[in-house]
Amino acid sequence: MSALDPDIAGLLAQELPAADFRRIVETFEDDIGRLTGELEQAGAAGRLDEYRRVAHGLAGAAGAVGATLLERTARLAMDPRSTLPPQQMVPMIRAQARAALEELAALLRRVGKV
């Protein structure tokens, strides 16, 4: 399964000027790095309200670029009914974030916007 929804990410890549798309990808990369760090810290410290708030931010960032798998997992992390603890969720989110970033980088190369 692809980490990106080709309809969303592909449309962004095709419709936006190269500099704008590149800036979106770079901003996403910065946001994901910061948010996954905050998610890990909040989860490890047992600050579940903060953990869910950060997961909400991750879901929004992921949805904006079409990283649907990451978005769904972040939404699961922010759901207070979820039975998966942060110690299980954070590694999954980190792996999905890496996959989304790799696919976005490949998309940048494919459309010649690197």
1 assigned to some structural domain? no
44 assigned to some structural domain? yes
Indicate the length of the chain as a whole number. 114
Overall number of domains in the chain: 1
Write out the residue range of the structural domain in which residue 68 sits: 6-110
Contacts of 64 (CB under 8 A, 6+ apart): 24, 28
Q: How far apart are CA 16 and CA 70, in angstroms?
A: 23
pTM here is 0.90
Per-residue pLDDT of the chain (114 residues; tens, 9 = 90+): 689 998 899 889 889 998 899 999 999 999 999 999 999 999 999 999 999 999 999 999 999 999 999 999 999 999 999 999 999 999 999 999 999 999 999 998 887 755
CATH of the domain at 18: 1.20.120
22 assigned to some structural domain? yes
